[in-house]
Structure 1
Amino acid sequence: MSRKRRRQKKHHLEPESQERWLVTYSDLITLLLVFFIVLYSMSQIQNEKFNALMDSLRTVFQGDAILSETSMTPTSQNNDLSSMPIKEDDSDHDKNKEKNEEKLDKLYLKLQDYIKENRLGNEIKLTNLQRGVQLTFRERILFDLGEARIKQQAFPILEKVGGILKTVPNEISIEGHTDNNQFRGTSKYASNWELSGTRSRTVMLFLINHDKLHPERLHFVGYGEYKPVAKNDTKAHQAMNRRVNIIVLR
């Protein structure tokens, strides 16, 4: 009798035990589905978070725990964002550039008014160039022929111009030029280069000493005869080439 009951009990248990693998299989399918969904949603995640996710998933499959909450907390996200490089905004640069252009426009108008009021149009030429605002001084207003000492009557002009130049912080290039006449042995300057460089240096030092322009804003160049504005075929054209340019650079 007891054997018969055991057979009946065994008969009732066998179908149930045969279906248990379906539970395990369904759990495995569910975990795999979650795994691929998380992978898809985290496709843009950084490597550190991805590694943390993989470690947590390994823990899940080992039966120890589910995903660690600390791997995806807001704090860790903020830390990751703070470590990411921030693209520099060019808006501030554009604003500064616009302000600088406005200052140069005002500078140009001030210099233009000064030249007109003092009837210096034949001696000083004002030009608005791509590289900056340029003042061109003809030789005769600043220097005697072949000399690099500034004339006494030019002092007030350079002082006034220097005062206007102080209204902007831009760098200033002072550039000397000559004609193509060669120096004789009696000249104190060995070449046109030396004369043009000495003249531009003299103007630079005047602006520093008399107008208190900051030296770091200034530099001087001597081009000699090699950047003429006209052919050296007449005395009038040679006089045009003998000049000093003061350029407020953009």
Structure 2
Amino acid sequence: MAAPRIDFTKKERLKPRALKDLNPYEGVPHESEDGEGWLISYADLMTLLVGFFIVLQSFSTIDDQSFEKVKKETTLLFGGEYKVPFEDLKKSIENVLTDPQIKNQVVIEPSEKGLTVTFRGALFFDPGSMELKPQALALMEKIIPVISTQASDFGIVVEGHTDDVPLNGKGPVLSNWELSSLRACRILHLFEVAKFARNKMKALGWGDTRPIVPNKDANGLDIPANQAQNRRVVIKIIKSAEALNE
């Protein structure tokens, strides 16, 4: 069979391609204009994760007092009414102080950290004695169940304070240091009997080292009224058990 004949004399004109259609990279795979966009998304994701873990860490290390401060500021910022912690416990203790004379010798102060109850020394002990008065024992028998109901898992710190009048050294107690410590332990024992956790309680005897008012005037003379204020027992109910070590 004869091969088809090609006419080389016939000149066929080729149509030139438009310049805009010429592409030296035609057929070669290339990255799109948005090829690096994933890097931006990845960086945003990493930033969010870092921020998330920082928030988690801050919540794991924040103490109760700082948290309560943030809570207070946030509540007030949004127009809410901030309620001081332990306010309910304060009112419950006040409700058992039915005797006006006793109530006048007790000061209850709530705070973001806990509740402080201060008793005038004359209410609890006779001068130089570490034995609770009957009226003090009756009062504690009312107060401790209230604390047990509303704050049984909180920390308890009992402090004993005296005035600056030295003991005569003739009795079993030789100094105000010992007297204040023994008084604090005597009250702490009542909490122990009520089944409070022993590892969340502490007794402190400060002697006359932490007066709330001066024991003497500018001439060095005793101020009996001030000395009476400095003779006191303080019970602190603390939300954070770690605060016992402060």
Structures share a fold, TM > 0.5? yes
Instruction: Please show how residues 59-138 of structure 1 align to structure 2 within 5 Å.
Output: 85=53, 87-88=55-56, 104-117=86-99, 119-129=101-111, 131-138=113-120
Q: Give unpaired runs (5+ residues) of structure 2.
A: 44-48, 60-66, 73-82, 216-221, 240-246
**1:42 aligned to 33, 39, 42, which one?**
39
**1:221 aligned to 204, 208, 229, which one?**
204
For residues 99-138 of structure 1, what are the alpha-carbon distances to aligned partners after superposition, in whole Å with 9 as ceiling and x for unaligned?
xx67611111111122245641233233334543222122
For residues 71-100 of structure 1, what are the alpha-carbon distances to aligned partners after superposition, in whole Å with 9 as ceiling and x for unaligned?
xxxxxxxxxx8xx8484497xx77xx78xx
**1:247 aligned to 218, 222, 236, which one?**
236
Paired positions, count: 203
RMSD: 4.0
Partner of 2:63: none
Indicate conservation of the 8 Å contact 1:159/1:207, yes or no: no
Shift in CA distance, 111/85, structure 1 to aligned 2, threshold 3 Å: closer
For residues 188-244 of structure 1, what are the alpha-carbon distances to aligned partners after superposition, in whole Å with 9 as ceiling and x for unaligned?
3343222212211211111221x3323233222222112112221322221211110
TM-score (norm 2): 0.64
Partner of 1:61: none
Instruction: Please show how residues 84-233 of structure 1 align to structure 2 within 5 Å.
Output: 85=53, 87-88=55-56, 104-117=86-99, 119-129=101-111, 131-169=113-151, 170-209=154-193, 211-232=194-215, 233=222
Indicate conservation of the 8 Å contact 1:143/1:149, yes or no: yes
Indicate conservation of the 8 Å contact 1:177/1:227, yes or no: yes
Shift in CA distance, 219/27, structure 1 to aligned 2, threshold 3 Å: farther
Q: Give unpaired runs (5+ residues) of structure 1.
A: 47-80
Shift in CA distance, 24/108, structure 1 to aligned 2, threshold 3 Å: same
Amino acid in the other structure paired with 2:42: I
Indicate conservation of the 8 Å contact 1:107/1:167, yes or no: no
Which structure features the higher share of helix residues? 1
Structure 1: how far apart are the matches of 2:155 and 2:40?
Answer: 51
Partner of 1:234: 223
Structure 1: how far apart are the matches of 2:84 and 2:106?
Answer: 23
TM-score (norm 1): 0.63
For residues 46-77 of structure 1, what are the alpha-carbon distances to aligned partners after superposition, in whole Å with 9 as ceiling and x for unaligned?
6xxxxxxxxxxxxxxxxxxxxxxxxxxxxxxx
Structure 2: how far apart are the matches of 1:182 and 1:194?
Answer: 11
